[in-house]
Amino acid sequence: MYRKYFNFSRKPFELLPNPDFLYLSQSHKKALTYLHYGIRERLGFILLTGQVGTGKTTIVRELIDKYMQGALLAHIFHTRMENRQLLAMINEELGMTSDKKNKPALLRELHDFLIDQYSRRKPVVLIIDEAQNLSPSILEDIRMLSNLETKDDKLLHIILVGQPELRQTLAAPELLQLRQRIQINCKIEPLANDETKNYILHRLESAGNREALDFSEDCFPAIHSYTKGIPRLINILCDFILLDAYANEVKSVSHEAIHEIANDISFNAQYWETSQLTAIHNIGNIDSNTPQDPTNKLHGILINFNKRLRHIESGTPEKRQGVDDELRATIQTMNNRLEQLGQVVSSLDMQVKALAIPMLQPSAAAKPDTSGRSWFRRQFFGKS
C-alpha cells in the first residue's frame, strides 16, 4: 500500500522469517556462530532458545542457506505428537515411507538410511522447531536417536529450537542424560536500545530506502519501550508507523506520533498485557477474609474475561487449541464465583454501561481532531 510512496522495492517490516533482512545483533551473531560450529564439528545435540518473535527461525534459515547446503535436512515444525509420529515424520522428511510401520521398524529403517548417507559422506541434520511443546517421553526418544553413531562420528545431528520453557522442561531430573548430551547451548536475547535503532534502519535499507522516513532521535527509545526489543513486535509497530505516515502524507515521525499510534492499536494490551489472564486464574483464589467491593471485583473479572475471549477468537485455530481446556475450567470456576456474588448481579448491567460511557466518549473539554491522523484512525480502527 505504501511501497511506492516510500520508494521501497519490498515491504521492510514483513513478519515472514526472511534471511535477506537478517540483522545480526550481538546475541544473534553469537547464536549463529555457535550453530555453525556445531554443524561443522559434527556435534550431536545443539540447543537454541529465545522468546517468541526474537528471530530463532530466521537464524535457523540463515544457517541452512549458508552452511548446510550439502546436508540432508529433516525439519520438523509440528511438535504436538505421539512418539511414533515423530519417527514417522523424520523418515518422511528424509524421503522414506512410514505407512503402517511400528516404532522399531521405523527406527531400523532410519538407522540403515543414516549408515548409507554416512558412507556417502553426507551429513544428516534434524531440526525440531517449537520443541517446547515436546513431552518428556518424546524428548527421551530424541535422546535415543543420538545413540545412532559410529565409533568416530554421530550419524544424526540434532538441533532443538524452542521458547524459554524448553529449558525448564529439560531441567527435569528424568532428562538428565539428554541435558548432558547437549554440546552447544545458546539463546537469542531481545535487541538492546541501540540495536533497535540499527535494526529498523537495516530493514529500511534492505527494502531499498534507508531514508524513507525521518525518525526523530527520541523515536527509537519509544519504539524499544513498546516492543522490549522483540524484532517481531518492532516489525508490527513500524509497519503501522509507515502506514500512519502514508495516511498523513508525511515522511517524518515524532515520538508523540508513535505514542498515539501505539495507543490507537492498543499495542500494550494486544501484545503485552497479561492482567486479564491473572484475573481469570485468581478467580478461584479470592481470600474470603479480605474486604472487597464485590461489584467492582465481578465487573473487572467480566471485562478481563471478555478481553481474553476476543483475543483468543481473533487467533488462529492452532493458537486456540492450547487454551480450550483452560477456558472450560475457567468458565466453570467463573460460574461458581458468580453464584456467590448473585446478590449484586441484578444491578451489574447498569453499572457496566455507566462505566463504559466515559471510556467510549471523548472528554467534553477535548477539541475535535480534524488532522490527517484522525482520518487514519477512522479508516483503520473505527475511531474518531
| pLDDT beyond 70 at 151 | yes
Provide the pLDDT for residue 107. 92
67 and 144 belong to one structural domain: yes
Residue 82 sits in which domain range? 26-188
Span 91-105, mean pLDDT? 89
Mind listing the pLDDT tens digit for each residue in 178-217? 999 999 999 999 999 999 999 999 999 999 999 999 999 9
Residue 349 confidence class, pLDDT cut points 50, 70, 90? low
Contact 224, 196 (CB under 8 A): yes
Provide the pLDDT for residue 14. 94
> Closest Cα to residue 156, out of 169, 170, 144, 167?
144
* 348 domain-assigned: no
Span 288-300, mean pLDDT? 42
| Alpha carbon distance 375, 358 (integer Å) | 22
99 and 234 belong to one structural domain: no
Give, for 183, the enclosing helix (H) or strand (E): strand 182-188
96 and 144 belong to one structural domain: yes
64 and 180 belong to one structural domain: yes
CATH number at residue 177: 3.40.50.300
161 and 47 belong to one structural domain: yes
39 and 181 belong to one structural domain: yes
253 and 223 belong to one structural domain: yes
pTM value is 0.70
Other C-beta atoms closer than 10 Å to the C-beta of 277 total 17
- At what angle are helices 193-206 and 219-227 packed, to 10 degrees? 100
| pLDDT beyond 70 at 33 | yes
Mind listing the pLDDT tens digit for each residue in 254-273? 999 999 999 999 999 999 86
Beta-carbon contacts of 6 under 8 Å, excluding residues fewer than 6 positions away, are 209, 212, 213, 242, 246, 251
10 and 30 belong to one structural domain: no
Provide the pLDDT for residue 78. 85
236 and 183 belong to one structural domain: no
170 and 304 belong to one structural domain: no
97 and 206 belong to one structural domain: no
Q: Where a domain ends, among 169, 188, 207?
A: 188
* 275 domain-assigned: no
Number of domains in the chain: 3
pLDDT over 90, % of the chain: 59
First-to-final CA distance of the chain: 22
62 and 110 belong to one structural domain: yes
| pLDDT beyond 50 at 37 | yes
Helices (H) and strands (E) in the chain, counts: 20, 7
